[in-house]
A and B are shown apart, each in its own frame.
Chain A
Amino acid sequence: MSGPVPSLDRLPGEPRYWYAGLAVLLVAWPLLFGAFWARIGLGALMWIGLAQSWNMIGGYAGYLDFGHGAYFGIGAFAAAVAMAQFGYPFLVGFGLAILVSTVVAYLVAVPTLRLTGAYFAIATWAFAESIKQAALVTGITGGTFGLSLPRSPETFIGVPVPFEIAETFFYYAMLVLCLATMALTYYLFERHEFGYRVKALRDDQDAAESLGIDTTRVKRQVYVLSCVVAAVFGSVHAWYIVYVHPNDVLAPIITDRMVIMALLGGLGTLTGPIAGGLLVFLLERLSSVFLGSTTFYLPLIGILIMVTVLFAPSGIIGILRGEVDRDDVRKNVKELGEKFDLL
């Protein structure tokens, strides 16, 4: 396509009215629909934020991080250790999650970002697995027993707060984090020259270097940033769920979900993880609630991934923007048909 880049503001009428309406809906959500839907909402917000965090390194920078979920777990355990083992309020755990994830991400970034493609993916996957195994045998993380977090009114900032620490509180906490993640992504990756440099190194690292871009530094910055965002969500999740175990918060499925959400929505786009995150999360949760099946959504997701990769590599957002080339789709359908003797 050779025309100007499509604008996101393609909705009928004034975009600001749509944004205002969406803002009102998001703020009023738990008040309008109650605790159950607040829980659904906070889950969706968390997964959208996590998918966006993966999208920073996987989509914008093009580094397929298959160990990203480890940082969600690191954030969860940082908060859990601070609160359960040392009796600190959540805010200290939150700060600790940022600190620990920054240090770990930097230490991991230095050797692994020298690798590319499958090697990077395997190295990060192995890192995540080793973190999980370490958490299972380390005393401070509770080992195979995990850790239970306190959740009384004084566990937020150290003194009692005049509101309940329950679903609504966590919904708003996730809303703030998710909106902050979106705003950060929009500013850094879509508007700031930093984002142009990240995309430049994804498209052609040598060309980027030849234009003054210190690609090693930029890669490390994106990696650390994306990991810290995942850790921040992990820390809030730990407090919300009040119990963390390595098999839950360090499970490989966490990374898998982030990857699937970003891929289905549209890699390297601001809105892709929102679309993909909503689709996957709601499919999973609603099929579980209304159909009583926790696995029904899995084959559906598998089919969706195949269809996306084959026919709409730019994801849902690419389809909405009209970026799917019909000739390519026809060609792929024909090739598939011939391959499986269907045509």
Chain B
Amino acid sequence: MTDDILRTTDLTKRFGALTANDEISISVERGEIRGIIGPNGSGKTTFFNTVTGFYQPDGGSVHFDGEEVTGWEPYRLARRGLGRTFQIVSPFKNMTVRQNMLAVQTDDGRSREEKRDRAEEILEFLEIDHIADNEARGMSGGQQKLLELGRVLMLDPELVMLDEPAAGVNPALELRIMDHIHELNDEGTTFVVIEHDMHVMKTLADSVSVFDSGSHIAQGDFEEVSQDDAVREAYLGGTTAEDDEVPI
């Protein structure tokens, strides 16, 4: 029997006549790195928003760590151990890096001192401790991505959902972010990652779920899904490619 940390069953989200997520059923095993790919508008971010409580689902359910959490408010899920980042990075720009970390609220009864120590530990791990007293608005885009990851780590999350962690980041920093994700994953943190950069996805994800037009159309390892007919259809728009490679 698999140990699923996240399971969605027939999860549905509609915006008027548009069905952004159509009965999506996905299971994410504890300790894996799951990639989510799909063309623009396929419902990946809506899926993130519905799972993490930012959208109320129109149908289906979400189970996290063995507990039904459908419709929970985002802050409750975060405190329960489900962390996430956003497509557009959103540091609290008028606060210092350290204050950004200390703003995070948990239910684990840590003292202020313990929280400060944990923040220092994480900043050191992410190699941004030297700018701890700088205001976040002065950080580079890459540093902001690291800060965003750092804040999520303050939750000591079981599962982290990352929405395009490598977008707009230079290759050196992209590698650093990937290394951090691998390192955290080795320590037991599960990741669900949306990413358009297929090179990143290929090296990062243990398995990949593919979305198209609001549906979950395929799942498997990267090589497997890139050969899948439905995935080819989604990415190539129905044309028959001579080339074996899906341009993803």
Point out residues on A near B: beta carbons under 8 Å: 1-5, 193, 196-197, 199-200, 202-204, 206-215, 268
B52: chain A residues at CB < 8 Å are 210
Indicate if the CB atoms of B134 and A3 lie closer than 8 Å: yes
Contact code string B69-95 (vs A, CB < 8 Å = 1, else 0) = 000011100110001111000111111
Indicate if the CB atoms of B135 and A206 lie closer than 8 Å: no
Indicate if the CB atoms of A210 and B73 lie closer than 8 Å: no
B93 contact from A5, A203, A209, A210, Cβ within 8 A: A203
- Tell me how far the C-beta of A221 lies from the nearest C-beta in chain B, rounded to whole angstroms: 13
A1: chain B residues at CB < 8 Å are 135, 137-138
Q: Is B102 an interface residue (CB 8 A)?
A: yes
Indicate if the CB atoms of A214 and B105 lie closer than 8 Å: yes
Interface residues on B, range: 35 or more
Q: Is B27 an interface residue (CB 8 A)?
A: no
B151: chain A residues at CB < 8 Å are 211
A197 contact from B83, B90, B105, Cβ within 8 A: B105
Residues A199 and B92 in contact in the complex (CB < 8 Å), given A193-B103, A208-B103, A211-B151: yes
Please report the C-alpha to C-alpha distance between residue A10 and residue B84 in the assembled complex, in whole angstroms.
40
Indicate if the CB atoms of B78 and A196 lie closer than 8 Å: no
The residue of chain B having its C-beta at the shortest distance from the C-beta of A192 within the complex is B112
Please report the C-alpha to C-alpha distance between residue A117 and residue B233 in the assembled complex, in whole angstroms.
44
A210: chain B residues at CB < 8 Å are 52, 54, 74-75, 78, 83-86, 152
Task: Taking A196-B102, A197-B103, A206-B54 as given, write out 8 further A-B residue pairs in contact, using a Cβ cutoff of 8 Å, ordered by the A residue number.
Answer: A1-B138, A197-B105, A209-B53, A209-B73, A210-B86, A212-B107, A213-B75, A268-B94
Indicate if the CB atoms of A206 and B90 lie closer than 8 Å: yes
Indicate if the CB atoms of A207 and B134 lie closer than 8 Å: no
Residues A199 and B90 in contact in the complex (CB < 8 Å), given A1-B138, A211-B154, A211-B155: no
B105: chain A residues at CB < 8 Å are 193, 197, 211-214
Q: Is B139 an interface residue (CB 8 A)?
A: yes
Residues A203 and B135 in contact in the complex (CB < 8 Å), given A196-B103, A213-B75: no
B86: chain A residues at CB < 8 Å are 206-207, 210
Indicate if the CB atoms of B135 and A211 lie closer than 8 Å: no
- Among B94, B135, B137, the most chain A Cβ lie within 10 Å of the Cβ of B94
Please report the C-alpha to C-alpha distance between residue A245 and residue B39 in the assembled complex, in whole angstroms.
65
Q: Is B104 an interface residue (CB 8 A)?
A: yes
A196: chain B residues at CB < 8 Å are 92, 95, 99-100, 102-103
Indicate if the CB atoms of B152 and A211 lie closer than 8 Å: yes
The residue of chain A having its C-beta at the shortest distance from the C-beta of B143 within the complex is A2
B133: chain A residues at CB < 8 Å are 4-5
Indicate if the CB atoms of B138 and A3 lie closer than 8 Å: yes
B79: chain A residues at CB < 8 Å are 212
- Among A207, A211, A213, the most chain B Cβ lie within 10 Å of the Cβ of A211
A2 contact from B95, B99, B134, Cβ within 8 A: B134
Indicate if the CB atoms of A209 and B78 lie closer than 8 Å: yes
Please report the C-alpha to C-alpha distance between residue A209 and residue B107 in the assembled complex, in whole angstroms.
14
Indicate if the CB atoms of A209 and B95 lie closer than 8 Å: no
A214: chain B residues at CB < 8 Å are 73, 75, 105
Indicate if the CB atoms of A211 and B134 lie closer than 8 Å: no
Indicate if the CB atoms of B75 and A212 lie closer than 8 Å: yes
Residues A2 and B83 in contact in the complex (CB < 8 Å), given A196-B102, A209-B75: no
A199: chain B residues at CB < 8 Å are 92, 94-95, 99, 103
Indicate if the CB atoms of B95 and A207 lie closer than 8 Å: no
Q: Is B19 an interface residue (CB 8 A)?
A: no
Q: Is B96 an interface residue (CB 8 A)?
A: yes
A212: chain B residues at CB < 8 Å are 75, 78-79, 104-107, 155
Indicate if the CB atoms of A204 and B134 lie closer than 8 Å: no
Indicate if the CB atoms of A213 and B94 lie closer than 8 Å: no
B95 contact from A4, A200, A206, A211, Cβ within 8 A: A200
- Tell me how far the C-beta of A4 lies from the nearest C-beta in chain B, rounded to whole angstroms: 5
The residue of chain A having its C-beta at the shortest distance from the C-beta of B80 within the complex is A212
Residue pairs across A and B with Cβ atoms less than 8 A apart, 17 shown, are: A1-B137, A1-B138, A3-B138, A4-B96, A4-B134, A5-B96, A196-B95, A200-B92, A206-B54, A206-B90, A209-B73, A209-B78, A210-B54, A210-B78, A211-B78, A211-B104, A215-B75
